[in-house]
Amino acid sequence: MFAFSIYLFRQTDFAWWWFIALILVPDIGMLGYVINSKVGSVTYNIFHHKGLALAILVLGHVTGSDAVILAGIILFGHTSLDRIFGYGLKYPDHFKHTHLGWIQ
């Protein structure tokens, strides 16, 4: 899926440095953990949900907004990359407890 996000990005007119510069931006969702793990899990999961990424990508196509398309591609690519490294959607009890299991 990460390779597919690169493919999708190549279909845009954006320079490559945009992909590299933005690929880690969805990790801003971790800031919720500053408050507590329940808030952190919600904000993290919003910024790391593939369904939301695809919905934003479709919205971008429907509205013809290149910036929204880019946001959807970046979100999809980032979440796919996270899954490669074993980072899943978070449960509210602990940062390391994910839908893929416990992070080592």
Q: What pLDDT does 66 receive?
A: 98
Summarize pLDDT for 38-51 with one digit per residue, the tens: 999 999 999 999 99
Task: Indicate whether 37 pLDDT > 90.
Answer: yes
Place of tokens 């999809």: 76
What is the predicted pLDDT for the residue at 98? 92
pLDDT in tens, 71-91: 999 999 999 999 999 899 999
- Give the per-residue pLDDT at 21: 97
Output the pTM of the full model. 0.91
CB atoms within 10 A of CB 47: 20
Residue 9 has pLDDT above 90, yes or no: yes
Among 8-12, 25-29, 38-42, 95-99, whose mean pLDDT is lowest? 95-99
pLDDT for the residue 104? 80
Helix segments in the chain, DSSP class H:
2-10, 16-22, 37-47, 50-63, 66-84
